[in-house]
Structure 1
Amino acid sequence: MMKASFEKVEANKVVLTVEVDSTKVAEGLDQAFKKVVKKANVPGFRKGKVPRALFEQRFGVESLYQDALDILLPEAYEAAVAETGIEPVDRPEVDIEQLEQGQALIFKATVIVKPEVKLGDYKGLEVAEKDFSVKAEAVSEELTRMQKQQAVWEPVEEGTVAQGDRTVIDFEGFVDGVAFEGGKGEQYSLDIGSNSFIPGFEDQVVGMGLGEEKDVEVTFPEEYHAVDLAGKAATFRVKLHEMKRQNLPEMNDDFAQDVSDFETLAELQADVEKNMAERAEKDKENYIRTSVVDLASEKAEVEVPAVMVDGEVEQMLRNFEQNLSYQGLNLELYTQFTGQSVETLKEQFKVDAEKKVRADLVVEAVAKAENIEVSEEDIDQEIAIMAEEMKRDAAEIRTLLEAQGSIEQVRTQLRLKKAVDLLVLNSKVTA
């Protein structure tokens, strides 16, 4: 019914030659006729009732070719990919070489395929030691953070702005005496020390009194997002309307009871240290896993197709949009606020995208080299973990995954995870 072969023409490009039997072509033409005859307008016949011979005499069999191709090509291409074992990573460019009634359909498909990976040494990798121990200073900083969350902001009626104060200001910016777009704000809330304004701005608000107006002199960074302002000196006319200062609660047993279920500050501190130690252990594990993959990638030889990088960039952009939505923003608003274009964002994602694609290809090659398999028991265990995290029944999660056609995706991810486990198991941490 069908024959297929392929020829490698470039590092990651092949030409697939497919021949579809004339019997199958005839079936495709029959289906095409049944589709188009419903719309054929021939005097003396109702739509859908025109005889095939008369239709071809009036319109020509060639009028069925495109619809027949739409029917035949997807199935033939998919079967040819399965028969030859190639792994396309992009849509094919198809050239029809022969399509005639009574003859075989012959077409060529030029397609970018998943690249071959030549693995280097991936066992015995040496990961540089990194300190993940929890320092007393870090525990103290976490308690201070909790303390600040309980702080009460109280108005300051006398004195001047100090670091850490929360202010309400009006401002308007000028470059060479001319106001610029986006440089004006009224009743703007600014925390001094947040570094959310141009470098030097907040430092000059320190010392201002209520109702005071002042010219703040700053220089925009050389790599400022608004190109027309980058590197330029600017003057901001600032008026201070309000200032508030944090009144921190005393760090004692009462504080511990207010922020937790513990009775004493010592118990709270011990719990904070325990939680930080658990997070540090996970950070250490992630560091080692990331490091061994990076090292294995560096030692491997692989030419990453641009189309795979572009696909990963698009995925990163979708993830970025999703994260923005959690903050009540969207991509359009973000680009307006930052002055960055979508293309600029994509360019920024590109390096990390290429690194990730390369790493995934290398880990996949390790899994293949080590004949790593995933059993049904492995999948059941993974689904059980997912169900526990989502607080849903495991059978319900499996049904959902099967409906989405995602079981094989779970299998693939588990196979890659096992490959990374193997890299870690065969690595060592060195000082």
Structure 2
Amino acid sequence: MKISVRNLEPTKVKLTVTVDPEEFEPYLDEARKEIAKQANIPGFRKGHVPAKLIEQRYGFAGIAGEAVNNAVPELYSKALEEKKIRPMAQPELDVQEVPASSKDETKLKFIATVERRPDINLPKLDGMEIAIAKPEVKDEDVNARLESLRQRFGTLVGVDRPAAKGDFANIDLDAQIDGESVDSQEGVSYELGSGTMLDGLDEALEGLSAGEETTFEGTLEAGEHEGEKAQIKVKVNSVKAEELPELDDEFAQEASEFDTLEELKEDIRKNAADAAKGRQATDARDAFIAKLQEELEIPVPKGVKASMVEEHLKGMTPDPEKATKEQKAEAEEQVEKELRDQMTLDALAEMLDVQVSQADVFNFLASIAQQYGMDPNNFIQAIVRNGQLGSAVQEVGRSKGLLAGMRAVKFTADGEEVDLSAFLGEDDEEADSVEAASAAAAVADELANADAE
């Protein structure tokens, strides 16, 4: 097999593959056998029809077509491996030449155009030192968590005064276009200042008391008239304020298993410290990847980027075609970073010769299934059925490479070495990846989308 490679772009190549007759012949033989299994020729049992008779009956073109369908994907994969090309998308395959008969010396020739991962020359890990911030828990952090817990035990009480930010108003809404009602809702509970409904609603409600109403102009965000301007009539039925419990021992007993407020605060401080250490591990991961990329120019495949940007926009706006310039710019920035990080971790896994076992992949998928409350066996079967096993293998490889790479370097905070073994584990044991959550969500969401389609 002769393979020529032409670089079209830094991340796109064109492979021309020419296959010698002796290498193509096994595929022709296999095609003849497959056709013979289905052939119904008097005097012969299925699967026992001579090859020459099959060729006479069905023609060489039909046999060659079946052989090409099987040969091209396999030979394409071999060509990638031989030339050390790492594809990042499905190829465009174009069969150029096929022998016209069993005696024809024309060689099978096809062209594959594919977006690829660029060559990435990572720095050596030996002696690499990365500075990260020291985790700290401030009194403000403890107070914020305590206040959040306090709000969970708050109650709403009616007040006889104008609505203000933080109050909850029970409202009726009626949207009109050209004097005609196009949408209306009654008895909606809305927190002033939350900004979770129509633009302009907060300003319209502030200062209104129960029984009062007003009209403002707003843009409808859903329904048949989405995106259109409308006159919104809003009436306040009632105003309620949140009443929070006193911060004392009685509250501690009601909100937790502790007897005193001081014990509760100490537990909150401990949990905040644990969370700070987790954030430090995440910071270390980001700093490690940034260090690897520090002096590298990593181009991203244009087609893969465009496809991923489109998917990102679907999560940002109901109609990606109407996405704003800001949304498009944000999606492109996120996708470029995601792609560069993925390619960097793929290159790292190769540099460290990371091996992914079947058990690694199944454990990874089982952990995802558990996170999403799915049966592990059904989830794994669905992954295989939807052709996503390769993506799972790649994610595991990236995760293992990341952990191995982070174990190989030194992290410091204020000049002191940081021990991240609780998050990274040891070389010979499994550990929770600091990016397992995002990887799990990506694979699970992809599966959910596939099932929905």
Give the TM-score normalised by structure 1.
0.72
Q: Distance in 2 between matches of 1:212 and 1:273?
A: 45
Aligned to 1:6: 4
1:266 Cα deviation (Å)?
0.7
Contact 2:7-2:14 within 8 A present in 1 as well? yes
Paired AA for residue 63 in structure 2: L
CA shift in 2, pair 1:300/1:125, >3 Å: farther
Aligned to 1:63: 62
Residue 275, structure 1, aligned to residue 271, structure 2: yes
Q: Distance in 2 between matches of 1:203 and 1:70?
A: 65
Aligned to 1:236: 232
Give the TM-score normalised by structure 2.
0.69
Contact 1:134-1:277 within 8 A present in 2 as well? yes
Aligned to 2:280: 284
Q: Distance in 2 between matches of 1:219 and 1:89?
A: 41
1:261 Cα deviation (Å)?
0.5
CA shift in 2, pair 1:428/1:284, >3 Å: closer
Contact 2:27-2:68 within 8 A present in 1 as well? yes
CA shift in 2, pair 1:132/1:109, >3 Å: same
1:303 Cα deviation (Å)?
1.8
1:309 Cα deviation (Å)?
2.8
Q: Distance in 2 between matches of 1:126 and 1:79?
A: 39
Q: Distance in 2 between matches of 1:366 and 1:45?
A: 57
1:149-179: per-residue Cα shift (whole Å, max 9, x none)? 11222344x443333222211122456x555
Aligned to 1:413: 399
Aligned to 1:162: 164
Q: Distance in 2 between matches of 1:342 and 1:303?
A: 28
1:274 Cα deviation (Å)?
1.6
1:273 Cα deviation (Å)?
1.5
TM alignment of 1:251-400, pairs within 5 A: 251-310=247-306, 312-313=308-309, 335=318, 348-365=330-347, 371-374=351-354
**Residue aligned with 1:299, SS:** coil
Residue 149, structure 1, aligned to residue 152, structure 2: yes
Paired AA for residue 7 in structure 1: V
Aligned to 1:83: 82
Q: Distance in 2 between matches of 1:219 and 1:95?
A: 50
CA shift in 2, pair 1:15/1:192, >3 Å: closer
Aligned to 1:134: 137
Q: Percent of pairs identical after alignment? A: 28
CA shift in 2, pair 1:135/1:343, >3 Å: same
Aligned to 1:205: 205
Aligned to 1:109: 112
1:353-407: per-residue Cα shift (whole Å, max 9, x none)? 2112112323444565xx5355799x98x969x98x969xxxx99xx79996866
Contact 1:124-1:428 within 8 A present in 2 as well? no
Q: Distance in 1 between matches of 2:412 and 2:118?
A: 26
Q: Distance in 1 between matches of 2:117 and 2:370?
A: 34
Q: Distance in 1 between matches of 2:45 and 2:348?
A: 63
1:190 Cα deviation (Å)?
0.8
Paired AA for residue 5 in structure 2: E
Q: Distance in 2 between matches of 1:186 and 1:317?
A: 32
1:82-111: per-residue Cα shift (whole Å, max 9, x none)? 333322222233333432224443333333
**Residue aligned with 2:293, SS:** helix
Q: Distance in 1 between matches of 2:399 and 2:283?
A: 19
Aligned to 1:326: none
Aligned CA-pair RMSD: 4.5
**Residue aligned with 2:5, SS:** strand
Contact 1:4-1:83 within 8 A present in 2 as well? no
TM alignment of 1:207-222, pairs within 5 A: 207-216=207-216
**Residue aligned with 1:91, SS:** coil
1:14 Cα deviation (Å)?
3.2
Aligned to 2:425: none
1:286 Cα deviation (Å)?
1.8
Q: Distance in 1 between matches of 2:180 and 2:407?
A: 58
Q: Distance in 2 between matches of 1:367 and 1:64?
A: 42
**Residue aligned with 1:60, SS:** helix
CA shift in 2, pair 1:190/1:259, >3 Å: same
Paired AA for residue 3 in structure 2: S
1:301 Cα deviation (Å)?
1.7
CA shift in 2, pair 1:265/1:13, >3 Å: same
Q: Distance in 2 between matches of 1:86 and 1:266?
A: 61
Q: Distance in 1 between matches of 2:411 and 2:264?
A: 39
1:199 Cα deviation (Å)?
4.8
Aligned to 2:419: none
Paired AA for residue 168 in structure 2: R
Q: Of residues 235, 242, 246 in structure 1, which corresponds to 2:242?
A: 246
Aligned to 2:442: none
1:254 Cα deviation (Å)?
1.1
CA shift in 2, pair 1:214/1:96, >3 Å: closer
Paired AA for residue 208 in structure 1: L
